[in-house]
């Protein structure tokens, strides 16, 4: 096999929570009188919560204190977590689950590398609570992608070297993080157009031929 482990981003790769992020940020932006639409939301993909809020605040007229920023980002997350309760194993596609099972059957270690602090909750909602060998997420990192920390820690949790890990990502920042961490990467979705990946996937199940 080409790799010993595969590290997956969560949002946009294993599942899609974009609509819930959008709804939660929209509620906060509306309260502050800030214009917010899908185009702005797309800039937030793969970015930490506080960095996302800074992007939203580009259209804010006033000056916001650090304390208020924490208050509003916390509020956003509470709204988001409530919305996530709507997720269920039905939100995990058959293609993704079958592909993961095939990779595991080949003896590959599987991990999550996500900036989200809600990764474990989302995995539980999808019925994947104990499925992955390791989860590196927003709770154990200090730097968001494109910093490679989340992937380096995932490899460490798995006991594998960076060169033996493949990262699967749907965002440019994630591909940059993988490269910075010395890992090959597979792009899916919008990330394919970046031209930064070792492999470009048309569909998730293409992973079976890559590894």
Which residues participate in catalysis according to the annotation?
A: 9, 11
Contact (CB, 8 A) for 56 and 40: yes
Contact (CB, 8 A) for 15 and 126: yes
| E strand or H helix that includes residue 153 | helix 149-158
Q: Tokens 């997420």 correspond to what residue? A: 137
Q: Which residues pair with 166 in a beta bridge?
A: 6, 184
Q: Which residues pair with 188 in a beta bridge?
A: 201
Cβ count within 10 A of residue 178: 31
């Amino acid at each position: 096999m080409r790799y010993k482990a595969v590290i997956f981003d969560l949002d946009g790769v294993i599942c899609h929570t974009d609509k819930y992020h959008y709804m939660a940020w929209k509620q906060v932006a509306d309260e502050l009188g800030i214009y917010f639409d899908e185009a702005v939301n797309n800039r937030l993909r793969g970015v930490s919560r506080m960095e996302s809020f800074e992007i939203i605040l580009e259209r804010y007229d006033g000056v916001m204190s650090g304390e208020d920023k924490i208050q509003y980002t916390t509020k956003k997350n509470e709204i988001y977590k409530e919305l996530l309760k709507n997720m269920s194993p039905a939100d995990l596609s058959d293609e993704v689950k079958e592909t993961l099972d095939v990779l595991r059957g080949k003896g590959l270690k599987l991990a999550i590398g996500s900036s989200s602090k809600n990764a474990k909750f989302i995995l539980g909602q999808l019925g994947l609570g104990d499925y992955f060998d390791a989860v590196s997420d927003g709770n154990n990192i200090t730097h968001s992608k494109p910093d490679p920390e989340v992937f380096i820690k995932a490899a460490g949790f798995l006991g594998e070297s960076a060169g033996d890990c493949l990262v699967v990502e749907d965002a440019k920042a994630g591909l940059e993080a993988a490269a910075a961490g010395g890992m090959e990467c597979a792009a899916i979705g919008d990330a394919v157009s970046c031209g930064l990946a070792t492999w470009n996937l048309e569909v998730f199940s293409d992973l079976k031929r890559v590894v």
